[in-house]
Amino acid sequence: MSDVVETPVLHVSRDQLIETVAGLRDEGYVSALDVTAVDYLEHPGRTDLPPELEPERFELVVTLISHTTPGRIRLRVQVPADDPTVPTLFDLFPGTEALEREVADMYGIVFEGHPDPTRILMPPDWEGHPLRKDFAVGRIPVQFKATR
């Protein structure tokens, strides 16, 4: 484990996300590096959550970086499948705009208050969210307008 410094992990609920990130920003976490998500549909035996936490299907993963004392921190947010909404981090870190659009595109997680909730990688008329575990690889027919 010489090369990879272990990143401290914080589990936060959706309601506390904005508050926590704002607090971390004031503590010196100057930049939001990454926003991504994981679909835990086919991973029922996961054990890395604290026992008091209710595991949900989706998990939002936010990575922040501090430069004054070099280090990253990772926030993990449980997002239920029947209500996949999270507040946007755009007002705190405008750089999350494209990253959140990608998560919305790939997982169908809705970011409340996002300024531009359009698809980013897939065509605007695409059906489904490709990185979800129940989205099969190599689906036919091709969904582009011109080939229909």
Partner 1 sequence: MSAPETTVETATDEAVRRREDSAVLRIGEDDGERLEAESNASDTSMIMNMGPQHPSTHGVLRLMLEMEGETVMRSKPVIGYLHTGMEKTAETLTYLQGPTNVTRMDYAAPLFSELAFSMATEALLGLELPPRATWIRMLMCELNRISSHLLFQATNGMDIGAVSMMLYGWREREEALRLLETITGLRMNHNYIRPGGVAADLPDGWRDEVLTLIDALPARLKEFDTLLTGQPIYRERLQGVGVINTAECLALGVTGPILRSTGYAWDLRRDMPYLAYDEVDFDVVVGTYGDCFDRYAIRLNEIRESIRILAQILDQMPSGDYRVQDKKVTPPPRARIDESMEALIHHFKIFTEGFKVPAGEVYAAVESPRGELGCYMVSDGSAVPYRMHIRGPSFVNLQTLPHLMRGGMVADAVAIISSVDPIMGEVDR
Which residues of the shown chain bind partner 1 in the complex (CB under 8 A)?
1-7, 30-34, 36, 38-39, 42-43, 45-48, 61, 63, 65, 67, 70-72, 74, 91, 93-99, 102, 106, 115-116, 118-124, 130-131, 135, 137
Number of H helices and E strands in the chain, helices first, is 2, 6
Are 88 and 100 in contact by the 8 Å Cβ rule? The answer is: yes
Q: Give whichever of 55 and 95 is closer to partner 1, judged by the CB atom.
A: 95
Q: Give whichever of 78 and 96 is closer to partner 1, judged by the CB atom.
A: 96
Q: Give whichever of 112 and 116 is closer to partner 1, judged by the CB atom.
A: 116
Name the minimum Å distance from CB 41 to partner 1: 10
* Cα–chain center distance at 100: 7
Q: Which residues pair with 9 in a beta bridge?
A: 74
Are 58 and 26 in contact by the 8 Å Cβ rule? The answer is: no
Nearest C-alpha neighbor of 59 from the set 72, 48, 70, 68:
48
Name the minimum Å distance from CB 105 to partner 1: 9
CA distance 56 to 59: 7
Name the minimum Å distance from CB 16 to partner 1: 18
Name the minimum Å distance from CB 90 to partner 1: 8
